[in-house]
Amino acid sequence: MKFRYLAFVLTAILAISACANTNSNENIAVYPSLPTISRPYLPIEVNVQSDASGSLPEFPVSGDTSHYRAYLQASNNDRYRIRVSNNTGQRVGVVIAVDGRNIISGQKSYLQNTERMYILNPHTSGEYEGWRTGSNQVNRFYFSEAVDSYAAAWGDHSAMGVIAMSVYPEVRPIINYGRSMMKGVPASPSSAAREAAPGTGYGETTYSPSVTVNFKPLPEPIEKVFLKYEWRESLCKKGILSTCQNPPQTNENRFWPSNDGYAPPPPRRRY
Could you please report the per-residue DSSP string of 68-85?
EEEEEE--TT-EEEEEEE
The predicted model gives 57-75 an average pLDDT of: 92
The predicted model gives 78-86 an average pLDDT of: 98
Domain ranges for the chain, please list them. 44-237
- Judged by average pLDDT, the poorest of 36-40, 92-96, 108-112 is 36-40
Q: Per residue in 183-241, pLDDT tens?
A: 644 444 333 433 478 999 999 999 998 888 999 999 999 999 999 999 988 888 788 87
115 pLDDT more than 70 = yes
Beta bridge partners of 142: 79, 201
69 pLDDT more than 80 = yes
**Model pLDDT, residue 26:** 40
256 pLDDT more than 80 = no
The single-letter DSSP state of residue 170 is B
Q: Per residue in 123-167, pLDDT tens?
A: 999 999 999 999 999 999 999 999 999 999 999 999 999 999 999
Q: Per residue in 8-59, pLDDT tens?
A: 333 333 333 334 443 434 444 444 555 668 888 999 999 999 999 999 999 9
**Model pLDDT, residue 175:** 55
Could you give the CA distance from residue 192 to residue 157 in angstroms, rounded to a whole number? 19
Q: What angle do CA 110, 106, 131 make, to 5 degrees?
A: 120
Tally of CB atoms within 10 A around 81: 19
In contact, 161 and 251? CB cutoff 8 Å: no
Beta bridge partners of 226: 69, 164
For 87, phi then psi, to 5°, come to -90, 10
The single-letter DSSP state of residue 146 is G
In contact, 188 and 132? CB cutoff 8 Å: yes
Could you give the CA distance from residue 53 to residue 132 in angstroms, rounded to a whole number? 24
